[in-house]
Amino acid sequence: MKKILSVLVILVLMFYVGNAFAGNYTGKAVKAKLASEEIKGDFMTVWADNFSAHMKKWSDGKIDINVYPYGTLGATGDINELAQMGVVQFVFSDYAWISSFVPQAQVLALNYLFPTEKVPEILDWMVKNGKFMPLLEKAFRKNDLVPLAIMFEGWQWLTSKKEIKSLADLKGLKLRLMSSKLLVEDYKAYGAAPTPMSYGEVYSGLQMGLIDAQVNPLFAIYSMKFYEVQNFCTQLKSEPFLGIPTVNAAFFDGLTKEAQQEMRKFWIDSIIPAGKWIDERNASDKEKMKKAKPEMKFNVLDDATIATFKAKAETVYPQYTKIGGEGSQEMLDALLKDIQDAKKALGIK
Q: Identify the CATH assignment for 29-346 out of 2.40.40.20, 3.30.70.980, 3.30.310.10, 3.40.190.170.
A: 3.40.190.170
Ordered by start, the domain boundaries in the chain are 29-346
State residue 21's pLDDT score. Answer: 52
Q: What are the C-alpha distances in Å from 281 to residues 153, 276, 288? A: 10, 9, 10
Contact 154, 219 (CB under 8 A): yes
Cα gap 49→135, rounded to integer Å:
28
DSSP 93-147: EETTGGGGT-GGGGGGGSTT-S-SS-HHHHHHHHHHH-SHHHHHHHHHHTTTEEE
Contact 83, 145 (CB under 8 A): yes
State residue 96's pLDDT score. Answer: 87
State residue 222's pLDDT score. Answer: 97
Q: What are the C-alpha distances in Å from 190 to residues 18, 161, 244, 307? A: 57, 17, 26, 12
Bridge partners for 93 per DSSP: 244
DSSP 275-291: HHHHHHHHHHHHHHHHH
Bridge partners for 30 per DSSP: 63
Per-residue pLDDT of the chain (349 residues; tens, 9 = 90+): 444 444 444 443 444 444 445 568 889 999 999 999 999 999 999 999 999 999 999 999 999 999 999 989 988 878 999 999 999 999 999 988 888 889 999 999 999 999 999 999 999 999 999 999 999 999 999 999 999 999 999 999 999 999 999 999 999 999 999 888 999 999 999 999 998 888 899 999 999 999 999 999 999 999 999 999 999 999 999 999 999 999 999 999 999 999 999 999 999 999 999 999 999 999 999 999 999 999 999 999 999 999 999 999 999 999 999 999 999 999 999 999 999 999 999 999 8
Backbone angles phi, psi at 4, to 5 degrees: -65, -45
What are the residue ranges of helices labelled H in the chain?
2-18, 43-58, 76-85, 119-129, 132-141, 181-189, 202-207, 218-223, 249-253, 257-292, 303-314, 317-324, 328-346
> For residue 38, which of 9, 7, 67, 2 has the smallest C-alpha distance?
67
